[in-house]
Structure 1
Amino acid sequence: MKQRLRRHIVLIGMMGAGKTAVGTELARRLHVSFTDSDAAIESAAAMSISEIFARDGETFFRDREAEVIARLLERPPGVISTGGGAWMQERNREAIRDHALSVWLNCDLETLWHRVRMRSTRPLLQTADPKGTLQRLLEERNPVYATADLDFPARPGSVEKTTARLIEVLREKEELWLNRSK
């Protein structure tokens, strides 16, 4: 049985939580579009997130991020993954609440650290103590992430199994589905 989305599904959470990987698989299984807001920003700017941070600063980046998210939410319903800091901005939370179901991919510190420790593409972790920075960010952000419509535990495991678990939970959300068709 195929279902059509009435609203976007927006994945939020920390860097390394699996938003892009799970989002890509979720969109494929639901037969809808997938967009990674960070990739859309990089495409529009013709530079990486790290380069934007270095050249223009975080405030400039957050303004562009809000513009891109607002534009993505105007499209037909699909799956959108956001950068780790996007949900921290009230303007993004309001826009997402108006057009989407927000899903927090809730991950523990050790899982996140395992996934991001070898990546140099995380500008907020370019510190003397990247794991300590990650822990501080997690502690600061978790209370705000917890305001998402859905708190989904993103336990270690395959993308396929995580996506299957998420789809089971999403099927219960009646406000998300336009209709059910074969």
Structure 2
Amino acid sequence: MTALTELQARMIESVRISIDAANDYFNQSLVVPDVRFDLRGKSAGQARFEYGRAYGLVKKAKPVIRFNRLLMEENPLAFVNEVAPHEAAHVIANQLYGRNIKPHGPEWQMIMRSVLNVEPSVTHQFDISRASPKPYVYQCKCPGLTHSLSAIRHNRVQRQKSSYLCRKCSSRLDYTGQTA
């Protein structure tokens, strides 16, 4: 196992501080999630709940937070101050309200604002050009608008297994023959 970088240690500490704040606020003893730095692609972070089975019975979920190491290294302050609390809020909401709530619903938003003092945001604005290399460029009928598809989605289109539509004009996306 490799040693943690200073930034990784700060991220783990930020998650722990968020869980501690929720424990104080709700007078609970919430589980601190495992933190991993193995997420790839366009997502900054991901909260997961790994369910184990023993003798046919479902054990309690083990929370895990995964961070995109490349995006984290390019945006360290935003990750420590925004992304770590965002993902910790998912873990907190799951432990308090169960898994049948909306991921960015009112429970999560309340935790972000009232417990963690962070304005809730569903998406990030990080430059993903290095994290998601060579997206395939598609276009719809909207003038001047292009769409980037991942290699997986591009290959599905090429094999005629899937097609994708523009969210604005609802027309089918067509490959331009270019990569970004």
TM-score normalised per structure 2: 0.22
Q: Which has the larger radius of gyration?
A: 2
**Larger helix fraction of residues:** 1
Choose between structure 1 and 2 for higher RCO, CA contacts under 8 A separated by at least 6 residues: 1
TM-score normalised per structure 1: 0.22
